[in-house]
Amino acid sequence: MRYKTIIGLEIHVELMTKTKIFCSCTNEFGGEVNTHCCPVCLGLPGAMPILNKAVLEYAMKAGIAFNCNIARNTKMDRKNYFYSDLVKGYQISQDDIPLCEGGYIEIESKEGPKKVHLNRIHIEEDTGKSVHTEDGDTLLDYNRAGVPLIEIVSKPEMNSAEEARLFLEKLRATLKYIEVSDCKMEEGSLRCDININIVDMETGNKTNITEIKNLNSFRAAVKAIEHEEKRHIDLLKEGKNSEKETRRWDEVQGETIIMRQKGGAADYRFAVDGDILPIEISEEWIEEIKNSLPELPHDKKQRFIREYGLTEYDAEVLTQSRDIALFYEDTVKHIDDPKLVSNWIMGDVLRRLNDEDLEVDSLKFDSKALADLIKLVKDEKINNNTGKKVLRDMFETGKDPNSIVKEKGLIQISDQGELSSIVDKVLDDNQQSIEDYKNGKDRAVGYLMGQIMKATRGKANPQLVNKMLVEKLESR
């Protein structure tokens, strides 16, 4: 491979604390503009910030979950730079002593397990939000100003858009597991910046790093990386180089667009924030947070393989979301067939959720209802196709599967005498198909099965019918 892609990510994650990072204003998405703010988050003269202890706890949870070292002594700094909706003219962040250092996130790449190491996780405040009107005016909403963030900075160890996607998915799943953020990208609570450049492995030439700002979906991140890979490779082929620049992704045009030349750390003019006391973290506090963490995705995946006999792939899918994993285990409590439950959830349930962009907590039915449906199929009271139709009804109405089956008369026909009469009639009406079967055309069986299922409105026991049909065809 001649060209090597080098990718590092910076992910900003809004924390789900009840109040903001330096004041008692509610930390809640939405609301009327400029109603979730006070003199502190508006940056008014004389207002004093007080660090929210819960922000430290949430950030340390993330650091421990991602195998970081937690600083015993740290501080807050002022990051001075012009930003249109940065209220005070500086952002309170962390410079040289981040709360969390090192760590890694392990992904399953095409070449096998790969550890993507982290540089740091630090805490900071979010900025306000610019609202641009059709008249060309810019209005400012300060509800978001002072919302607590962690910034997770990876090392440049990813080499493809696919690896970046896997990293982001693992990161989001873990943050949701430990309940420090809802990670709703559409609401801005998880935002991703990409740093990318390309190396020509034959000549050693490499492009300057391009930063792509504020990607708000994994799909956009993947497309932006793929676009920049091609752009940088084309530059190398032409003997040119990129500028060290910051760009944004234009979804409509399907390309990145330059915003500004990229600055360096010196441009931020970091200085210690004198209004906030140095922070001391005790060993006891760290240990207390470690003990409070739930089972993490990797550990849950290994347990699912061990306890439920699932394949690695099945366990990976079912544990990517904590809510899906809980729903799976709750369903297994009601029907002791882990593999069958896995098939239903990974198939029709997740497909429907993904198609409609829904979360499992929005389902109109619970785990027991799904277990009852699976039992109906397993006990051959309804066939598999009917079960899928009942599931669709459950998605729409939330009704109990037994009630749906009873109301619509869907109980499977397994009476051999009744089925024998139906099969005979279908054969009598389809002499040509009998001849086709005798002449070695196996598709005739499929056609006749379809006619039988049509005659029974899909209620015939397919295994029993198939056996009976073949026997009758052989005897004719």
Instruction: Report which of residues 404 and 440 the model is more confident about.
Output: 404
260 band by pLDDT with thresholds 50, 70 and 90: confident
Query: With 80 as the cut, is the pLDDT of residue 414 above it?
Result: no
Let me know: does 146 contact 22? Beta carbons within 8 Å. yes
Q: What is the dihedral of CA 60, 62, 65, 69, to 10 degrees?
A: -50
Q: Which of 321, 380, 393 is nearest to 352 (CA)?
A: 393
End-to-end CA distance of the chain: 63
**Where are the chain's structural domains?**
3-284, 295-408, 416-475
The tens digit of pLDDT for each residue in 299-334 reads: 999 999 999 999 999 999 999 889 999 999 999 999
How many other C-beta atoms are found inside a 10 Å radius of the C-beta of residue 203? 9
For residues 355-365, give the mean pLDDT: 88
Choose which CATH entry (3.40.50.1100, 3.30.1510.10, 1.10.10.410, 1.20.120.140) describes domain 416-475: 1.10.10.410
Residue with tokens 């931020």, as numbered in its chain: 268
CB contact set of 169 (below 8 Å; sequence gap of 6+)? 218, 320
Q: What confidence tens digit (pLDDT) does each residue in 39-68 have?
A: 999 999 999 999 999 999 999 999 999 999
Q: What is the mean pLDDT of residues 389-396?
A: 94
The string of pLDDT tens digits covering residues 455-476 is: 777 777 777 778 887 777 777 6
Mean pLDDT of 184-196: 92
- What pLDDT shows up at residue 240? 86
Q: Give me the mean pLDDT over the 274-291 stretch.
A: 96
DSSP state of 419: H
For residue 343, give the amino acid letter: N
Would you place residue 404 in the very low, low, confident or very high pLDDT band (cuts 50, 70, 90)? very high
pLDDT confidence bin for 12, thresholds 50/70/90 = very high
Q: Tell me the mean pLDDT in the region 232-252.
A: 90
> Measured between alpha carbons, how far is 305 from 153 in angstroms, rounded to an integer?
31
Q: What is the pLDDT of residues 22-34, one digit of tens each?
A: 999 999 988 899 9
**Residue bearing the bigger pLDDT, 344 or 460:** 344
Residue type, 313: Y
Confidence grade of residue 415 (pLDDT, cut at 50, 70, 90): low
pLDDT at 420 over 90: no
What percent of the chain clears pLDDT 90, i.e. is strictly above it? 68
Pairing of strands 245-250, 210-215: parallel
Among 179-193, 278-292, 448-462, top mean pLDDT goes to 278-292
The residues near 37 (Cβ < 8 Å, ≥ 6 apart) are 25, 142, 143, 145, 146
Beta bridge partners of 256: 249
Question: Which residues are within 8 A (CB) of 131 and not within 5 positions of it... i.e. 6 or more apart?
Answer: 33, 138, 139, 140, 141
- pLDDT score of 265: 64
Q: Average pLDDT, whole number, for the chain?
A: 91
The pLDDT, as a whole number, for residue 431 is 82
AA identity, residue 40 = V
What mean pLDDT do residues 380-399 have? 91
